[in-house]
Amino acid sequence: MIKIALTGVIVNGICIILGTIFGLFFTKISERIKDTVMVGIGLTVLLIGFSMALTSERIIVILLSLVTGAIIGEGLDLEEKLNRLGSHIEVKFKKPGQNSRIAEGFVTASLIFVIGAMAVVGALDSGLRGDHEVLFTKSIIDGFVALVLTTTMGFGVIFSVIPVVLYEGGIALFATQINAWIPKDMLDLFIEDMTSTGGLLIFAIGLNLLKITEIRVANLLPSLLTVGIILYVYLQVESWLM
């Protein structure tokens, strides 16, 4: 059962690795081309995030989720911890005298691949029904994104496979038991609100890629968890008022 639940997760990790490897063949293109490619990636990420953000109509749930998530994330300083991990990886693999973007590649790729509906919905489908179609589709997309990111940010992108596999794998394994705890209607609403919340975080990543802002996106990650609690409270209050 565990092997079946993790099939899509493993394929996703393999595609990110392959995308990074192929991307290494294009790292010597000119800086001008790399800058324009990054703009293209940023614009695409903005579009993905914006379309996802419109999934839910429960704006108050999204707002409170982001607020509570920001408070927790800033308290834990997740952004600094993630950057520190990236810097540690960079020290291990950076060649002397080399201008490396390993840490940036790791952090940026990790956030793009982890935040989003496909990661959660796909992992849930894998765990609940043994259906890996969503994660297989995400794997193809992530492979191409990893390729493009690697051309501009280098080898660091490959290390994003670690948080991706841990994150999706954890959800998939949790999903094998989720039916016993969460009703299907509640789960569907949670996915809607989590998708909208994640969409806003992805939109923020796009703004950062375009160098318009310097939003500490990692410090907003707890909102993907608090959205479930906020939604539950919201539904309880709504039912009480009715």
Per residue in 143-184, pLDDT tens? Answer: 988 998 898 888 889 999 999 999 999 988 887 887 667 787
Q: CA 202, CA 113: separation in Å to the nearest integer?
A: 10
| Structural domains in the chain (count) | 1
| pLDDT per residue as tens digits for the range 200-215 | 988 988 898 888 998 8
Query: Which pTM value belongs to this model?
Result: 0.77
Specify the pLDDT at position 166: 94
Q: CA 147, CA 20: separation in Å to the nearest integer?
A: 5
Instruction: Name, in order, each residue with C-beta under 8 angstroms of 223's C-beta and a sequence gap of 6 or more.
Output: 65, 66, 68, 69, 70, 73, 197, 201
Domain span at residue 134 reads 2-241
Specify the pLDDT at position 59: 94
| pLDDT per residue as tens digits for the range 116-144 | 667 877 888 788 778 888 899 889 888 98
Q: CA 148, CA 24: separation in Å to the nearest integer?
A: 9
Q: CA 215, CA 172: separation in Å to the nearest integer?
A: 29
